[in-house]
Amino acid sequence: MSSGTKLTALIMAAARGPDDPMALAFKAEHKCLIKINAIPMLVRVVQTLKVVSEISSIGISIDTNDVLKKIPGLDHLELFQSADSAPKSVAAAIKQMNQPFPLLVTTADHPLLTPQMVEHFLRHAQATGGDIVVGLAGRADVENVDRTVKRTYFKFRDGEFSGCNLFYLNSEKAMNAVRFWHKVDKQRKRPLALARMFSVVVLVKYLFGRLTLKDGLENMSKLLDVQADAVILPWGAAAIDVDKPEDYKLVTRLLKKRR
């Protein structure tokens, strides 16, 4: 990033309701506080972001602030009440920030995230000039991390990519994408309704493997009236979060190797 550029980081840390399956499985007070090698996942992400020089402040969007009161190192961070969906939570936090943009959004269940990954993403995200930029990792890089890893991939003609839970919102215009994200989230269990939100031609090309990532981003930009872009990170681990017990075992093993 250019010299002097500072931004805010927002960590999405809300649980999946009062009976979050991961929190129950690991007997944690909250999913974001599940410990991996004795350190809560949220604390790992905060520690990572703290050493990134471009980040001037860190906020946490969470469903209950009380669970963080006893966790060292989190007391000085700004806390935001989460909403009933991720996009609504992002929008709610932004409304409460004095200077929200540029904004980095990531998640609390991303303990493999490193300062190097974040710095690389931010540097290249700003270079695109995009209003909203997403971080992706190629399938080969993800699977090279560990042969057991399982992720969801977007399949384009020029490659398969998995999301890295890294989003760069450059300006107020990025809110167009957040609002669209909310609409998509509401329709995620209604495939036909979801399909109607996209261009039929683009959708058909994607389903038949004829759409490139660049074409997909250009069409999304037109649809949302934003400049949407992506940064392909060279670390497959950037796409691995902790959503399932199998993820927990894998990440625990990888962090031990890293240490």
In tens, the pLDDT along 167-204 reads 999 999 999 999 998 887 776 556 556 557 778 888 88
pLDDT at 110 over 70: yes
What proportion of the chain, given as a percentage, has pLDDT over 90? 78
* pLDDT (0 to 100) of residue 78: 95
Spell out the domain ranges in the chain.
7-258
CATH annotation of 7-258: 3.90.550.10
* pLDDT (0 to 100) of residue 191: 54
* pTM (global) more than 0.85: yes
pLDDT digits (tens, 9 = 90+) for 126-139: 999 999 999 999 99
* pLDDT (0 to 100) of residue 3: 47
* pLDDT (0 to 100) of residue 109: 97
Q: How are beta strands 78-81 and 103-107 bridged, if at all? A: unpaired
pLDDT tier, 80 (very low <50, low <70, confident <90, very high otherwise): very high
Amino acid at 251: V
